Chains A and B, each alone.
Chain A
């Protein structure tokens, strides 16, 4: 699928009005999976629709079948599971506006809580979903890097069964994910934090509603002052969201000192692979990654207890 908007549309004539399609509005997951089994290749799932419908209006996407899951029961949960070490479950119909207002997120998942209000604009957030955004796999999508930083995973289901895919394997390239055409993404999961933890998301955008020039997701969990787990995800500076693994590794086992922060932000900048465009030069974006990672981590030095 071509990139939208940020490249030049080649089809001026096709703006505004979508092509025709067949529309289904299943009410159960099984019904939705049945429709996907039948129409998978030519079908698109409609959840929030805030990426899909604009693409269809441009006719960059012209699916023969649209499966609207908004009436499917059991996909709007936002809760913590205590199973195993515990994890957050975000159902496929949880809107970004819900995430933005969630006490659970602001107390337990600060990176997500910081990112949610920075997704697009307030009206779009009323519809848009985290799971849908991940499936759209836009390298400038904010939640991709948040989920990479937090080691999140996606739960997908088909009539053949269920798979759990770590986000770093789910995001496969610009606008492509490893979900199969007959699969429905039903939930995103994020491991529950342990120890003292904190996180944030910093985004440089030209205006509200803009895609990130640079976005930086950071997360640390510490024990006795030392970093036990670190997550750094980068938005807008590569062909996909980037998990800055070397920068993460540089933090683990250390105190969140200025030296450690400098080193991590340097490594994160090195992990970025930005392109020069109207938002700025590659050098500029790389340097903003460095500054933002440093600032993000400095904000976390007062990490709170779980």
Chain B
């Protein structure tokens, strides 16, 4: 009954034998030990399980693990590189974009996908982009500020980068 799959997780190839019914979020958490994606609602409403599949945000509670066979998954654990925080992580800290931290990994991943597509988003752009992800603590305003701060830092970094 179990199927063998290979997935690139945060840049590393990983293999697993899973039942087809195993949800992606459980594959990541229980099999791969990546507990940054959480489960909050069971009805595809809250988005705290969001990860990137081939760069696109998906709710990992609404995808089977077998569906990512051969594909690439990025989780919050893949944001930091070489021991340094990703700019979005720095931004959330700087602007107090998190409180209990439960929705934070998802929010940051969605934000990175947004900034990839739109490096200079307005407040409305950001609110729209994160409207599939609930936060119960912050009231969202500081999340919006965090994304704006990150956008600004990334623009400055790319402007200052040697051509």
A interface, CB within 8 angstroms of B: 5, 15-23, 25, 46, 49-50, 53-54, 56-57, 66, 68, 70, 97, 120-124, 126-127, 208-209
Contacts and interface: CB of A to CB of B under 8 A. Distances in A.
A121 B132 contact: yes
A123 B47 contact: yes
B19 A68 contact: no
B20 A22 contact: yes
Interface in B16-69: 19-21, 23, 42-45, 47, 50, 56-59, 61-64, 66-67, 69
A54 B129 contact: no
A208 B134 CA distance: 10
Contacts of A20: 1, 19-21
Given A21-B20, A126-B58, A208 B44 contact: no
Contacts of A54: 43-44, 62
Contacts of A208: 131-132
Contact of B58 (A21, A22, A127, A209): A127
A68 B68 CA distance: 11
23 contacts: A20-B1, A20-B20, A23-B3, A23-B66, A25-B69, A49-B67, A50-B44, A50-B62, A54-B44, A57-B23, A68-B66, A68-B67, A120-B132, A121-B131, A122-B57, A122-B110, A122-B132, A123-B57, A123-B132, A123-B133, A124-B59, A127-B58, A208-B131
A127 B42 CA distance: 17
Contacts of A23: 3, 20, 64, 66
Contacts of A127: 58-59, 62-63
B57 A126 contact: yes
Nearest to B70: A71
Nearest to A15: B42
A208 B110 CA distance: 16
